[in-house]
Amino acid sequence: WQIGWMAAAVNFSDIAAMGGQPLGLLAAVGYPPNMSLEDSGEIARGMRDCAEFCETSVIGGDVDSHEELTITGTALGRVSKEELLTRKGAKPGDLVCVTGTLGAAGAALKAYLKNMDIDSDFMKPLLEPVPRIAEGRMLAKSGAVTSAMDTSDGLALSLYDLASVNEVGFVLREELLPVDML
């Protein structure tokens, strides 16, 4: 289930970061021959559940047999030209904001890679990311946002990408970062 949810969520998060409203998800899934029908159904259910969470549905795609599990997806969305949020547009003096807490997914990944015995709730931010559709729509409608992107690759990399695209730098105050204390 989590694999399906994550495959959908990463695509819907891109729509959210642009201030869009999702219209649907296209998914191509290659199932290995040894995968049970129950497990393949759980993956499909995870994608469907995430799409429903984003108030849309899985509208098409392809299912095939592959040597190993392969999932690709494309989320479709709509946003007016006036509300479209892009990476380009940041300028000196802009305020850096995030819509959630930081660090939980990265901490879960590090714990997993170190084979630590951890609670499943600790892994949720990594395995079940939540697309921030409502937040993206509100920011887009506000007219106050000059640029935006998701932080699924981490805040540092996202800021690096924004700085490169906009030829600006960022000053952060560590004590103001909303770090998830788990």
Average pLDDT, the chain: 93
Please determine, for residue 182, whether its predicted confidence score (pLDDT) is greater than 70: no
Q: What are phi and psi of 47, to 5 degrees?
A: -65, -45
Backbone dihedral region of 93: left (phi > 0), alpha (psi from -120 to 50 degrees) or beta?
A: left
Is position 170 within any domain? yes
Confidence bin at 127 (pLDDT 50/70/90): confident
Q: Which domain holds residue 38?
A: 2-176
Domain count, the chain: 1
Distance CA 25, CA 160 (A): 29
| Reported pTM | 0.90
3-state DSSP percent of the chain in helix, strand and coil, to 5: 40, 15, 40
CATH of the domain at 160: 3.30.1330.10
Q: Which amino acid is at 55?
A: E
Please determine, for residue 90, whether its predicted confidence score (pLDDT) is greater than 90: yes
Each residue of 155-177: pLDDT tens digit?
999 999 999 999 999 999 989 98
Residue pair 11/150 in contact (Cβ under 8 Å)? The answer is no
